[in-house]
Amino acid sequence: MFGGSITALITPFQNGDLDERALQEFIDWQIQEGSDGVVPTGTTGESPTLSHEEHKRVVALCLEVAKGRVPVIAGTGSNSTTEAIDLTRHAKEAGADAALIVTPYYNKPTQEGLYRHYEAIATAVDLPIIIYNIPGRSIVDMSVETMARLAEIPNIVGVKDATADLARPLATRFAIGADFCQLSGEDATIGAFLGQGGHGCISVTSNVAPRLCSQMHKAWRERDLDRFAEIRDRLTPLHAALFSETSPGPVKYAASLLGKCTSETRLPLAPIAEASRVRVDEAMRSVGLLN
């Protein structure tokens, strides 16, 4: 079972190329700060702009530095089932603990198409699979009923739920059972998500506040609800600032303030506006991440 604070890793760039040193140092810092897992090559890692070679390289670099200290859940999704199988097969061969596979974007498959897409991947590659349901980016929303069908396949083990529908985790729990891993994909909803039966969060905010995010989940597990609420409230302005523009623009700028990498993104993502930079600066200071 995956749970706690799992970081949806940014991918550092330097002059348009992968910054491999910054990436590995960043992952090591994440682990030292207490993150419960890492996700390379997801949406926050700008996977749509990575070549296949770069994508596989990022996964390999992540596994090289993680060395089994925390789970590595590789993003391997695509709107092409064949491509998703290839990326998932590479993740398996490289030693990843699981694959995070987004619902196919742009194609707008039916619920039956969604079922067959994930069934084909799970059949082709014997690796734990977490469904990434994010209607805001992929347009399609996997129903609880379809997810329950897929959960009957042994290596489909959970969901990253970015629907922001806080009735969904409870409905999923009733339909599939408590052992089906439910991870929030929305930092700002984490308190309610955990209260509705969730197990953790694949987080954008933990890129820049890994220790606080880890401590918040630890407080939840220990039922120290006062401490949990204190950290939750402290992080709330930061969550908002990091989504002031399309992610990962703001969080990469925030990471640059910490000296972890440049703020570079790849087109079509542009540098964030001055107003957004001011907002991120202020939020980082309010949380205590900058002097």
Catalytic residue among 56, 160, 252, 260: 160
9 DSSP 8-state letter: -
| Catalytic residue check, 260 | no
Cβ neighbours of residue 80 under 8 Å, at least 6 residues apart? 104
DSSP per residue, 90-116: HHHHHT-SEEEEEPPPSS---HHHHHH
Which amino acid is present at 194?
L
3 and 181 Cβ atoms separated by less than 8 Å: yes
DSSP-derived letter for residue 143 is -
Residue 155 burial (CB < 10 Å; 0-12/13-18/19+)? Answer: middle
Of 132, 252, 253, 260, the catalytic one is: 132
Does residue 160 have an active-site annotation? Answer: yes
- End-to-end CA, the chain: 37
Angle at 55 between CA 92 and CA 122, to 5 degrees: 35
Task: Give strand ranges (E) for the chain.
Answer: 4-8, 13-14, 17-18, 37-39, 73-75, 98-102, 129-133, 156-161, 181-184, 200-203
Catalytic residues: 132, 160
